[in-house]
Amino acid sequence: MGASAVILFATYNSPLAQPWSFVGSHLLAATIGITCALWIDQLWLAAAIAVTLSLLLMQRLHCLHPPGCATALVPLLGDSEVHKLGYQLLITPVLLNVSVLLGLALLINRYLLSRSYPYRPHNIEDNPHRLRDPRPQERLGVNHQDVTAALQKFDMFLDVSEDDLMQIYQVAQAHARQRQPGQMHCRDLMSRDLVTVTADTSQQHAWNLLHKHKIKAIPVVNDAYNVIGIITLIDFLKPQGIQPTHGGKRRNSIRLPSLLKRLPFLTTPSETVGSIMSCDVLTAGQDEHLMAIMPQICTTELHHIPVLDLQQRLVGMLTPSDLLVALYTIKEPLS
């Protein structure tokens, strides 16, 4: 259990530390160890068989967790009191210890350390738009299937998930592109003539600006021109109980043309932008390379990126149109 604690808390994102690997390995190894202790008299032979079977079955059942093999030896190396327990040892203390430690791992990792446990990469979504198309960055370059095929050619175990490995590759690729001459920076592409609002701006005025300029997002700034939020069409829908869903049945459905006709009358002049704006804003620095922020743009649904200067003041906006222009003007292939 001490060795398992190191893995669960120090390497919580490892495949070895996930709940099924932890629970399955200990229970499986304990069962094998008890069986070998009951049926094989020679200690050296029973220990060898218990560890070997535990390792093979953990790999077969995808619950590899190194301390599990130590659990297989407990029924063999214990004293006479341990031998008398038989399969009761599987419940007490193995299952009891596993349950307590797993509960602590969930509590401490999630709520005290604010970690994602069971671990799932938070920057990679399976399909943010819920379509069958692969993610944009996978259509020309290396994709998940390529990584899987490459791993199958190496006869080794990597203590990192395929999703994490894919994310590391994408970030490394973005850094490598920064060394290439002629790369574009955010300041080269951003729109500088900006439409902005403040948190005290009325919702009706913000909606009129979206309609007048035919834009889909407006940054919300304070007196120092720092970005404190962003308001989009979706933010106007949320107070009406209409929210984008990522699967399942929609509780409220309405045709978009009729919704857009009704929306100006649904906004209340007394309500301000600050009550409906989104505060979680993806921003970029004006000196950042375009390829450095492309992984974030491709794996999120935030396609309007406020650009900030060194004093964190708003100086521009990157829109999907700007990104299309960049792709059109780059002469060398992106693969």
Band (pLDDT 50/70/90 cuts) for residue 328 is: low
Q: Which residue has the higher pLDDT, 243 or 19?
A: 19
Contact between 3 and 98 (Cβ < 8 Å): no
Q: 10 Å Cβ neighbour count for 310?
A: 9
* Residues 77, 50: Cα–Cα separation, whole Å: 12
pLDDT score, position 74: 94
State mean pLDDT over 314-327: 79
Q: Partners of 217 in the beta sheet?
A: 232
How is residue 324 written in tokens?
């299309």
**Residue 16 pLDDT more than 90?**
yes
Provide the CATH number for the domain formed by 186-244+254-329 in this structure.
Answer: 3.10.580.10
State pLDDT tens for residues 37-55.
999 999 999 999 999 999 9
CA distance 3 to 70: 9
251-302 residue pLDDT tens:
444 455 555 555 554 555 568 999 889 888 889 899 888 777 777 776 666 6
What is the distance between the alpha carbons of residues 187 and 167, in angstroms, rounded to a whole number? 26
More confident: 176 or 200: 200
pTM: 0.50
Which of the listed ranges 13-27, 131-145, 233-247 does the model predict with the highest average pLDDT?
13-27
Which residues belong to CATH 3.10.580.10 in the chain? 186-244+254-329
Residue 121 pLDDT greater than 60, yes or no:
yes
User: Does the pLDDT value for residue 201 go beyond 90?
Assistant: yes
Q: Across residues 192-210, what is the average pLDDT?
A: 91
Residues 286 and 307 sit within 8 Å (Cβ to Cβ): yes
